[in-house]
Amino acid sequence: MENNLMEEVTAEQWFEKGKKFSNVGNSRKAIQSYKQAIKQDPNFYYAWVNMAAEYYALGNMKQTIDCCEHAIYLKHDDAKAWSTMAAAYWKMDEDGKALYCFKKAIENGDKQIERFFIKLRQKKDKIIYAEEEDVLELMEKKRKSAAWEEFITLSKIKKEKEIEELRMKELIGEDPHFILPKDEFIKQLSNSVLQILEELNDEMGGRVSVSEFISYFQGKFPKYTVTVDDFLGALDYLTQKKLILGVKELSNGIKVIDIKPVELTKDIDIVFDKLKQVGSLNLGELMDKTGWDIVRCSRVMKSMENLNLAKKISSFSEGTRWYIIN
């Protein structure tokens, strides 16, 4: 991970990072930061709105509209999301939908969009003659889809985490009169371990080192006293239940948790072997050696950086290369 796992960055801090990147015109970095804020708090309205604006700046109207819809779901009467979505639909020549959104933005007090709409009228832009389409009705239909259900589920995560913390307080040393039997404690701990592993799965490419995971867990629950043996017991329990692949030791001695049987873990093993042979690779060389596309190669190298299996060094003469960490 890019950030030190010992330090939990809050949603608000990620949001502020996103704003800084926005202010210097780095839309891609801003989007990454807003995504991290939303990952921690799916109900962060302003992160959705700002991310929509960055996608608009990049010319990605589909993602702009998607972010605006999430924002409007959270806050129906705010003009900013409506005006951004209006502009996106207008760019896409979806005049009926754009007209509806323009009116919603004006209705909610966006004077700037109102002036823009007046100019469109004066120019007799084709939007004036469009048949208005109810975007809210379309959004309601979308909410019934699987993708929207996933968003609704994510919106509950923050509350679930609060409940989890309360439960953990009861289980781990908060009440000196409460002693849980060891086997029951391991089972309960494994639930929390699995939850965090699932959070890390995509970001770490299906694999995380044991030491990093323990640091991350202790960073999230600093008051809880959990031993390394407790963690290993929980991981063993999850392996027996086939909820994770298990713990393995790499050739460099690092112990890692294979979280889920994702293809990326195999890719990491392949690239690690190639790096051992040649010492360093750039993306072009890796693509030649594996036959993979640039997206797959980039994802593997990023995951290897996260696992401290490779380090990235950029120079004017060499470009960007990844070197094996001995």
Higher pLDDT, 172 or 135: 135
- Is 11-154 in CATH node 2.170.190.11? no
Residue range 253-304, pLDDT digits in tens: 778 787 764 456 677 888 888 888 888 888 888 888 888 877 678 778 877 8
Instruction: Specify the CATH number of the domain 181-258.
Output: 1.10.10.10
The C-alpha torsion from 21 through 27 and 33 to 36, rounded to 10°, is 170
Positions of CATH 1.10.10.10 in the chain: 181-258, 263-324
Token reading at 56: 């608009």
Q: What average pLDDT does the chain have?
A: 76
Question: In angstroms, rounded to a whole number, what is the distance separating the alpha carbons of residues 95 and 128?
Answer: 8
The CATH number of domain 263-324, selected from 1.10.10.10, 3.40.50.720, 3.40.50.1100, 3.40.250.10: 1.10.10.10
Torsion sign (Cα): 27, 4, 277, 266: negative
> Which of 171-177's residues contact partners 24+ apart within 8 Å by CB, and which partners?
172/221, 172/224, 172/225, 172/226, 173/224, 173/225, 174/223
Question: In angstroms, rounded to a whole number, what is the distance separating the alpha carbons of residues 289 and 281?
Answer: 10
Confidence at residue 31, expressed as pLDDT on a 0 to 100 scale = 92
Positions of CATH 1.25.40.10 in the chain: 11-154
Q: For the ranges 34-38, 94-98, 298-302, which has the lowest average pLDDT?
A: 298-302
Strand pairing report for 319-324 and 246-249: unpaired
Confidence at residue 263, expressed as pLDDT on a 0 to 100 scale = 57
Is 153's pLDDT higher than 50?
Answer: yes
Is 203's pLDDT higher than 80?
Answer: no
